Structure 1
Amino acid sequence: MTEADMTAGRHPHETERLARAALTHIVEPGDEHAGRALRHLGPTGLLRLLAEPGDQPPLPGTGPDPAAEPDLERALPDTGPQRLASWRRRARTVTPEHDLDRIARLGGRFLIPGDPEWPSQLDDLGDTRPLGLWVRGPADLRTWALRSVAVVGARACTPYGAHAAATLAAGLAERGWVVVSGAAYGVDAAAHRGALGSGGATVAVLACGVDVPYPRGHAQLLARVAEQGLVIGELPPGGHPTRSRFVLRNRVIAALTRGTVVVEAPYRSGSLVTARAAARLGRHTMGIPGPVTSGLSAGVHELLRGEATLVTDAADVIELVGDIGELAPLRRGPVLSRDLLAPDTARVLEALPGRDAAPVADIATRAGTHPDHALAKLYELHSLGFVERRQDEWQLTNRRTEPSNARHGGT
């Protein structure tokens, strides 16, 4: 820290917070060039290099230092002059104190690496790690992120996709998991509403400022999320969304969570970007299948052919991302009463003709057993309601359903 920083009475970490807040105005989210510069120079050092002679520095003590100019080439060896000029133009107008006051008035905060609430799993993004996160909402982001799942998918989803996303999110929330999504139309909104409707926790990751309701139709939804959950973003208050910012936002969703579930996605879908980013980061990637005739499920099915795991409900998801022993229930079809018969009894039952009656000797031959043994089993089957006797022959009982009294398979 510079001498001016120390004499200003600020703690070094708070000076870094101001610098990072300023940089969220200057560089785009996920900019690797800026990430490399931060590793070499730190936030205040980068601001110093971006301040040109005659400019008002964004922070005390971060004015231009001609002696440090050689560091610029070392810190930004691959950064083109146009990018650098853009950064310098933006650096002339930033007012980080104003942004921090604005987020405080909204009841929010600006988190940076080193804060107790900073989710350390975001550090897996390396040089594309967020400079910081602007946050609205009462919960602790670090605590919530440790037990979170992303649910993403198509904006123009079908009723099936909306139902699947809402049901999945509700099931996760009821089991104490945080549902993370991007607050877009379609699957994202259904996921947030499913979690909120069950009284659970949800986080909306925006590609704009956390004070900007986008899409506008979700103003009420985002207000509910901010009240009951968390609304977070990399852009400072007032920041507007762009196509590239939506794509870059997805890496934060992937890194923040234990796994990503895709519910409906065509081949060209931002949710597939999220899923593939999750896979690169070593997170679980999952997909809910849809009709093979639906183009909105084509991207999900392509994921399932590769790195993703097929899931159908919250129990399947938790078995993958949860702790050891959190297993999904065993899934099987209905148990029929004939499934409970002992093997030799079942063989005698299977030896009876489908429509006609047959003598005991023929039944025994088909079952591969002695006639006396076959007769004993026929009487057992008769008591259970499977067969009936016609004089000296036996036939299957004429019934549409399994007998309700068949509870065990005899001896």
Structure 2
Amino acid sequence: MRLRADSADPTPGQGSTASTDGGGADGALDDADDQDGAAGDPPSAFDRSDDALARACLTAVANAGDPVMGALLDEHGAAAVWEALAAGRPPSAPPGVRTAAYEQRAARWAERAARVDPDSLLAESAELGCRLLVPGDPGWPTQLDDLHLHRPYALWVRGAHDLRHACLRSVAVVGARAASAYGRHVAADLAWGLAQRSWTVVSGGAYGIDSAAHRGGLAAGAPSVAVLACGLDLVYPRGNENLFADIAARGALVSEHPRGAVPSRHGFLIRNRIIAALTPGAVVVEAGLRSGALNTARHAHELNRTVMAVPGPVTSALSAGCHRLIRDSGATCVTSADDVMEQVGRIGTDLAPAPGSALDPDTLDPESRRVLAEVPRRGGTGTAAVAAACGLDLDSALSRLGLLAAAGFVERGPSGWRTRDDRPARRPAPSGR
């Protein structure tokens, strides 16, 4: 299905092309909730690479998390939406969107699209060591689909770790930038304890609680995931340059913004929905009454994730937000990694089965059995090593390992993939008697 252009050319918006049109997205989309889950048929003329290229370009055109763009992608597919914008003929407004507000937004998109060079965007990103993830990729974290119309169009990722598998067992740890010594200590200690149990810490890479949590997880040998509010070619805050290098070496830096995108207040707030969506639960360590960490907690609550908060001194303004979450919002009070695991474990049983809950190995298909046979019981091995040993490409090996992890056969430890000690033993072969 081809997109129909508006009958009259919209009037281009005034001012900078970096205007925060996403800030008024919810106001323009009257019936956005009715669009959730609506799947439009993408045009048959476009293949998978066209979709990925279009989504990469759209990260440079539409503000992150814009539900109007999300509705267009659901209705028409990324390739057709990008083709229309690149041609200067924005698609018609999706159902439920006010025409006047949409025409201003669509004109800004078309203006920005005219300045995007798709080949340069991908080539320069690749030179930075960035890779692109789009919905449907083997490495795409499918829990982001819970964001519906606010789902990222694509993710730019830089780092050694596979994002999807890093987030299979993960916890968001967030809090104040101007954290106290108490808050930094608690965040680092929580992250270290979680990492010791092979849980990944997801945070925002900011000063204070975020940085302490990232460092605590890395110190225990686990990967860490930082979701940034700018392009991955920029280091913000500048003082965390070495920390970001460590995360890239042992985890993943993630952004829905293309290279060159500068951070903004709106970008930080909209970024928080990704932190909340990637994990089964979020811990707020320290937060004032107007802290951005409370925004993350709100997203987590709306996504039916577990919200946890660490108590602090009643005299500390930095803990007032945590106390309010516990008192008014039903957040669970946690003080240790064991407390956190107890909470996220209940909603993550499909990813971390209880002892004896894994399937019998004999029920696996031959390719999965070959992959399982290459995973050691002690130590760990990398995805590339498993792929080479089984004669599979990297994506196939990642997919098989993910399925084996979901079924309880394997887990990712500090040293790589390993089999779970609590999985059932293989049934003995018949004796023939």
- Taking the aligned partners of 2:325 and 2:248, their CA distance within structure 1 comes to 32
- How do 1:238-277 residues align onto structure 2 when only pairs under 5 Å count? 238-277=260-299
Give a deviation string over 1:81-122, Cα, whole Å, max 9, x none: 321221111010112222222222233310000100000000
- Measured after TM superposition, the shift of residue 326 of structure 1 is 9.3
| 8 Å CA contact retained: 2:281, 2:344 | yes
Aligned twin of 1:18:
53
- How do 1:29-68 residues align onto structure 2 when only pairs under 5 Å count? 29-52=64-87, 64=89
Coordinate RMSD, CA, aligned: 2.0
- Measured after TM superposition, the shift of residue 210 of structure 1 is 1.4
Aligned twin of 1:212:
234
* Pair 1:123-2:149 in alignment: no
- Taking the aligned partners of 1:200 and 1:261, their CA distance within structure 2 comes to 18
| 8 Å CA contact retained: 1:148, 1:179 | yes
- Measured after TM superposition, the shift of residue 52 of structure 1 is 4.5
| 8 Å CA contact retained: 2:62, 2:109 | yes
| 8 Å CA contact retained: 2:68, 2:94 | no
| 8 Å CA contact retained: 1:37, 1:75 | no
Q: Provide the secondary structure at the position in 1 that maps to 2:231.
A: coil
* Pair 1:77-2:100 in alignment: no
Give a deviation string over 1:17-57, Cα, whole Å, max 9, x none: 1100000000011101110111111112212332345xxxx
- The TM-score with structure 2 as length reference comes to 0.68
| 8 Å CA contact retained: 1:41, 1:75 | no
Unmatched runs of 5 consecutive residues or more in structure 1: 3-9, 54-63, 328-411
- Equivalent in 220, 237, 245 of residue 223 of structure 1: 245
Aligned twin of 1:27:
62
Aligned letter for 2:86?
Answer: A
- How do 1:319-334 residues align onto structure 2 when only pairs under 5 Å count? 319-322=342-345
Aligned letter for 1:25?
Answer: A
- Measured after TM superposition, the shift of residue 76 of structure 1 is 7.6
Aligned twin of 1:154:
176
Structure ranking higher on relative contact order (CA contacts 8 Å, 6+ apart): 2
Q: Provide the secondary structure at the position in 2 that maps to 1:196.
A: helix
14 and 167 in structure 1: CA distance in 2 versus 1, 3 angstrom threshold: same
Aligned twin of 1:406:
none
Aligned letter for 2:339?
Answer: D
Give a deviation string over 1:110-154, Cα, whole Å, max 9, x none: 000010000000000000000010001111111111111000000
- The TM-score with structure 1 as length reference comes to 0.71
165 and 74 in structure 1: CA distance in 2 versus 1, 3 angstrom threshold: closer
Task: Answer with 39-48 or 299-308: which moved more.
Answer: 39-48
- Taking the aligned partners of 2:197 and 2:65, their CA distance within structure 1 comes to 33
Identity of aligned residues (%): 51
* Pair 1:168-2:190 in alignment: yes
- Taking the aligned partners of 1:310 and 1:74, their CA distance within structure 2 comes to 43
Give the number of the structure whose alpha-carbon radius of gyration is greater: 1
- Taking the aligned partners of 1:76 and 1:88, their CA distance within structure 2 comes to 21
| 8 Å CA contact retained: 1:288, 1:311 | yes
Q: Provide the secondary structure at the position in 2 that maps to 1:180.
A: strand
- Taking the aligned partners of 1:74 and 1:128, their CA distance within structure 2 comes to 15
| 8 Å CA contact retained: 2:179, 2:208 | yes
Q: How many equivalent pairs are there?
A: 305
Aligned twin of 2:208:
186
| 8 Å CA contact retained: 2:309, 2:334 | yes
| TM superposition outliers: structure 1 runs of 4+ over 6 Å | none
